Amino acid sequence: MQTQPLIRLGTRRSPLAMAQAHETRARLCAAHDWDESAVELVPVVAGGDKIQDRPLADMGGKALWTRELDGWLHEGRIDAAVHSLKDVETLRPDWIALAAILPRADRRDVLLGAPSIDAIAQGARLGTSAPRRAAQMKNLRPDIEVVLFRGNVATRMAKLQAGEADVTLLAAAGLERLGESGVGTPLEVAEWLPAPSQGAIGIECRSDDEQTLGYLAAIDHAPSRAEVRAERALLEALGGSCHSPVGVLAEADGEAIRMVAALFSADGAERVDGEASLAPHDDDAVRALAADLLGLATPGITALFTGEG
């Protein structure tokens, strides 16, 4: 029986984050034939979990989900950190390595409160704090009002039930990991593009920690890494940040990756679309797609793509 853990996994305390950490532990134990006690889960309260009454973009962006875990990792209090990759900044410190990406789950968003976008009542309220979801909905349904919705999955579902909004959107992957996959209507990607890296769990560790890098390499899923890497590279090339309404999806298509993307103005009135077929790790092709999108974009869109991811 294993007495001391071989690896300490840091995670946020939310039910979804804990579910992702449990999946990571299960995959590590299966890959290495370890007892469960070999992997210790270390819950950490993230800044983004403490403040629920303001949009994420107004409080410091995605760093609110990573700052505490980064600190614990840097101090050696944990060996690795488990993240929803869509919540991780595109540009990360050199001392951090993205050591593993688990097999990607459902990329889609799920609509709750109506059976389809067309069926949402005229003038209904969409509860969301995500600029992408707000702008994409306003692009399709300019009549819909956007109201602030923050909190974990259960909190947002409860707010919807309490009538604080008429409809909301949640990630299908998160619902699935929480055993709520039968809730709502999944929106097909041809109609509704997800966030970059949606559905992907990433595990980071210190880039000089060879032992942990080796442990995590065994659970890295190469096809998911190729897709997510392309999406994150596009966001970086666009200068996207938490304020940037961008939908993107990269999917393996034989030996190539097919990527579709859309940029929006904050009010959804302006939209530009692009797509490309590229080889894995072809950053030049990703940058070319970003340049094409920004070249087509109106000032209302480009003003939102001047950050650092």
What is the set of domains in the chain, with CATH numbers?
A: 7-103+200-220 (3.40.190.10), 109-186 (3.40.190.10), 232-302 (3.30.160.40)
Residue 307 pLDDT level (bands cut at 50, 70, 90) = low
CB burial string 222-260: b at 16+ within 10 A, e below: eebbbbbbbbbbbbbbbbbbbbbbbbbbbeeeeeebbbb
Nearest of 225, 230, 228, 226 to residue 287 by alpha carbon: 230
Nearest of 146, 145, 140 to residue 118 by alpha carbon: 140
Catalytic residue among 87, 106, 166, 220, which? 87
> CA 142 to CA 232: how far, in whole Å?
29
Q: Is 87 a catalytic residue?
A: yes
The pLDDT score that the predictor gives to residue 60 is 47
pLDDT digits (tens, 9 = 90+) for 125-174: 999 999 999 999 999 999 999 999 988 899 999 999 999 999 999 999 99
pLDDT digits (tens, 9 = 90+) for 170-183: 999 999 999 998 89
pLDDT of 53 above 70: no
